[in-house]
């Protein structure tokens, strides 16, 4: 399927400037499309202010406005029919050694930030599968990595600077602002335009990544937490066939000076003898180092390297969060659909996320298992399968990833968020006229 057919198949309107998805990651698509090319934004008006004052001017001037980050979301969460604002020019990085924090402009991507803080002896607690995304866009949608003890990326936010609908600048911090802060971090772009983010820093650390092949799912029945807790960050990949994880990626945090040694077997799975891509048949060149070779946290925690196209490139993504303690049951429930799922799937990834207190977080007050699907770009088929997966997961109160594709009805989605009423009140306080509301929010949060 060529790019034009792909866009058609995912319901997007093709508007010129087609760029191959197989191009290197540095080549961004034209600004009116998201990264995957399955969404054509409904406006070409993208404001690119150079500083905070200009952000305030744009916000005051526009009656409708939506912040957009690095455009990696697969649905219309960042869309606007009138104006988008990109913070790409707000790219300063300020490290505070005393407070052990870094404050970044909202345009900064993790891949730009990580080497800078590592050079000063620091690390972030976790990263997503790819470093190409902006910090502000990632926290807005509760983007996560893996690890039983690791909260999602929004949990390392210590403070935010936000321009609210009337152009006012507010500062919210974990220490001082309690509930307001907990409501604003996973803000879904609705609270205001985030201009600066302060993140907690850890001392830098080394990670060694080892991949095992063919873990029988039966092992999860009794060893679920032991398997997902076998490393600092653990991911299982599956194509849902043969009741197994095709690959297990274990990212182990090393103590200073520790030499890494990995066992040849892991619950019956065999250690890989060569570097692998999670999608069978894809070249592993774009993946971070494996085979137990130690390296800095930011070159091991993501699966994909910064200067390569992450994942497949031409794809769609979906993800559901269920309670971790019912994780195995949920996996078995989805497995029943394997013969419908596998033909349209590149790969599924299973990860864990520690519970947090951020109101709109997909891990709000719930240790979670995330069941992720990287789909082939076949939207017509995928949109038939999603309601079936959602029906299978209904007993587990699934929360869909805010930035990925789902078909869960709004009333079921809203029921998953105990603080939704408080979140709406917070949004109303800072945006009484609905300047930052868009169709995605109207449909999913304001329909009932
Ligand atoms: C190949 C690939 C791999 C992925 N892997 C993972 C993964 O491992 N884990 C995971 O959880 N997700 C993953 N994602 C999803 C991705 O993390 C989310 O889509 C994330 O939100 C992308 O950030 P962005 O900067 O591209 O934001 P965008 O998609 O541009 O925007 C997302 C949201 O953030 C808001 N926003 C952006 N900037 C601001 C701002 N300055 N102020 C206020 N709101 C703002 C937007 O309004 C929108 O609501 C992946 C996506 C891709 C394409």
Q: Cα–Cα distance between 249 and 233 in angstroms, integer? A: 8
pLDDT exceeds cutoff 50 at 9: no
The pLDDT value recorded for residue 133 is 96
Asked if residue 189 has its Cβ within 6 Å of ligand 1, the reply is yes
297-306 average pLDDT score: 91
CA 320 from centre of chain: 12
pLDDT per position as a tens digit, 246-275: 999 999 999 888 888 899 999 999 999 999
Pairing status of strand 84-86 against strand 46-47: parallel
Range of 268-282, 286-300, 390-404 with top mean pLDDT: 390-404
Atom of ligand 1 nearest to the CA of 313: 1
Asked if residue 363 has its Cβ within 6 Å of ligand 1, the reply is no
Structure tokens at 385: 């399968």
pLDDT exceeds cutoff 70 at 24: no
Asked if residue 65 has its Cβ within 6 Å of ligand 1, the reply is no
The preferred substitution site among 69, 70, 134, 198 for testing ligand 1, maximizing ligand atoms within 8 Å of CB, is 69
SS3 state of residue 94: strand
- Which ranges of 34-77 does DSSP label H, i.e. alpha helix? 52-61
Q: Cα–Cα distance between 7 and 11 in angstroms, integer? A: 6
The pLDDT value recorded for residue 259 is 81
The preferred substitution site among 134, 137, 162 for testing ligand 1, maximizing ligand atoms within 8 Å of CB, is 137
**407 or 255, greater pLDDT:** 407
Other Cβ atoms less than 10 A from the Cβ of 248: the count is 27
User: pLDDT-derived band of residue 313, with 50, 70 and 90 as boundaries?
Assistant: confident
Asked if residue 137 has its Cβ within 6 Å of ligand 1, the reply is yes
212-224 average pLDDT score: 97
Q: Cα–Cα distance between 398 and 416 in angstroms, integer? A: 8
The pLDDT value recorded for residue 31 is 58
The pLDDT value recorded for residue 311 is 66
Share of the chain above pLDDT 90, in %: 86
Asked if residue 321 has its Cβ within 6 Å of ligand 1, the reply is no
Average pLDDT score, the chain: 92
pLDDT per position as a tens digit, 84-109: 999 999 999 999 999 999 999 999 99
The preferred substitution site among 138, 165, 315, 353 for testing ligand 1, maximizing ligand atoms within 8 Å of CB, is 138
Residues 6+ apart with CB under 8 A from 232: 147, 150, 207, 251, 252, 253
pLDDT exceeds cutoff 70 at 415: yes
Residue 138 alpha carbon to ligand 1 centre in Å: 4
- Tell the burial category of 232 from Cβ atoms under 10 Å away from its Cβ (0-12, 13-18, 19+): buried
Asked if residue 208 has its Cβ within 6 Å of ligand 1, the reply is no
Residue 402 alpha carbon to ligand 1 centre in Å: 9
Atom of ligand 1 nearest to the CA of 35: 53
Asked which of 40-44, 318-322, 444-448 is least confident by mean pLDDT, the reply is: 444-448
Residues 6+ apart with CB under 8 A from 429: none
Which residue has its alpha carbon closest to ligand 1 atom 32? 137
337-350 average pLDDT score: 98
Q: Which of 135, 169, 131, 424 is nearest to 298 (CA)?
A: 131
Query: Quick one: angle between helices 218-228 and 327-335, nearest 10?
Result: 130
Q: Which of 49, 131, 119 is nearest to 91 (CA)?
A: 49
pTM to 2 decimals?
0.93
User: pLDDT-derived band of residue 448, with 50, 70 and 90 as boundaries?
Assistant: confident
Asked if residue 69 has its Cβ within 6 Å of ligand 1, the reply is yes
Residue 72 alpha carbon to ligand 1 centre in Å: 5
pLDDT exceeds cutoff 60 at 204: yes
The preferred substitution site among 68, 278, 371 for testing ligand 1, maximizing ligand atoms within 8 Å of CB, is 68
Asked if residue 138 has its Cβ within 6 Å of ligand 1, the reply is yes
Asked if residue 66 has its Cβ within 6 Å of ligand 1, the reply is yes
Q: What is the DSSP letter of 297?
A: G
Residue 106 alpha carbon to ligand 1 centre in Å: 12
Asked if residue 247 has its Cβ within 6 Å of ligand 1, the reply is no
The pLDDT value recorded for residue 306 is 74
The pLDDT value recorded for residue 30 is 53
52 in Cβ contact with 383 (< 8 Å): no
The pLDDT value recorded for residue 258 is 81
The pLDDT value recorded for residue 255 is 87
Asked if residue 129 has its Cβ within 6 Å of ligand 1, the reply is yes
The CA distances from residue 209 to 179, 324, 387, in Å, are 38, 23, 35
Residue 144 alpha carbon to ligand 1 centre in Å: 10
Q: Which of 179, 68, 185 is nearest to 425 (CA)?
A: 179
pLDDT exceeds cutoff 70 at 17: no
pLDDT exceeds cutoff 80 at 12: no
The pLDDT value recorded for residue 395 is 98
**261 or 371, greater pLDDT:** 371
Asked if residue 67 has its Cβ within 6 Å of ligand 1, the reply is yes
The pLDDT value recorded for residue 105 is 98
The pLDDT value recorded for residue 312 is 66
The preferred substitution site among 78, 108, 188 for testing ligand 1, maximizing ligand atoms within 8 Å of CB, is 78
The preferred substitution site among 54, 72, 315 for testing ligand 1, maximizing ligand atoms within 8 Å of CB, is 72
The pLDDT value recorded for residue 7 is 33
pLDDT per position as a tens digit, 128-178: 998 899 999 999 999 999 999 999 999 999 999 999 999 999 999 999 999
**8 or 98, greater pLDDT:** 98
**269 or 24, greater pLDDT:** 269
């Amino acid at each position: 399927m060529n790019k034009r057919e792909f866009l058609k198949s995912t319901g997007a309107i093709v508007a010129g400037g087609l760029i191959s998805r197989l191009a290197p990651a540095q080549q961004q698509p034209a600004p009116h499309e998201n990264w995957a090319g399955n969404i054509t934004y409904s406006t070409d008006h993208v404001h690119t202010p150079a500083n905070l004052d200009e952000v305030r001017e744009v916000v005051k001037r526009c009656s409708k406005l939506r912040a957009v980050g690095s455009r990696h979301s697969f649905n219309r969460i960042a869309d606007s029919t009138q104006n988008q604002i990109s913070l790409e020019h707000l790219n300063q990085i300020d490290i505070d050694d005393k407070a052990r924090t870094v404050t970044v402009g909202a345009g900064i991507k993790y891949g730009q930030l990580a080497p800078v803080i590592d050079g000063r002896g620091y690390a972030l607690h976790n990263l997503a599968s790819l470093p190409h995304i902006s910090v502000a866009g990632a926290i807005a949608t509760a983007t996560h990595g893996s690890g039983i003890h690791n909260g999602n990326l929004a949990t390392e936010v210590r403070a935010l600077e936000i321009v609210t609908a009337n152009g006012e600048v507010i500062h919210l911090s974990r220490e001082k602002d309690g509930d307001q802060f907990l409501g604003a971090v996973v803000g879904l772009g609705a609270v205001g335009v985030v201009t600066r983010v302060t993140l907690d820093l850890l001392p830098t650390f080394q990670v060694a990544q080892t991949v095992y092949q063919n873990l029988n799912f039966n092992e999860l029945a009794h060893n679920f937490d032991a398997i997902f807790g076998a490393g600092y960050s653990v991911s299982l990949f599956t194509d849902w066939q043969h009741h197994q994880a095709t690959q297990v990626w274990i990212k182990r945090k090393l103590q200073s000076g520790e030499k890494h040694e990995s066992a040849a077997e892991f619950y019956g799975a065999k250690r890989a003898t060569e570097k692998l891509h999670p999608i069978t048949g894809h070249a592993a060149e774009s993946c971070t180092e494996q085979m137990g070779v130690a390296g800095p946290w930011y070159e091991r925690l993501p699966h994909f390297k910064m200067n390569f196209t992450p994942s497949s490139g031409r794809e769609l993504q979906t993800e559901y969060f269920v309670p971790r303690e019912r994780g195995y049951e949920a996996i078995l429930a989805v497995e029943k659909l394997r013969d419908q799922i596998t033909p349209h799937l590149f790969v599924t990834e299973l990860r864990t996320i520690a519970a947090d207190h951020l109101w709109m977080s997909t891990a709000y007050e719930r240790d979670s298992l995330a069941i992720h699907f990287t789909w082939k770009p076949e939207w017509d088929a995928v949109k038939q399968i999603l309601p079936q997966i959602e029906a299978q997961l209904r007993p587990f109160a699934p929360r869909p990833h805010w930035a990925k594709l789902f078909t869960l009805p709004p009333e079921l989605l809203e029921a998953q968020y105990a603080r939704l009423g408080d979140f709406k009140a917070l949004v109303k306080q800072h945006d009484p006229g609905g300047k930052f509301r868009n169709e995605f929010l109207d449909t999913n949060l304001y329909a009932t």
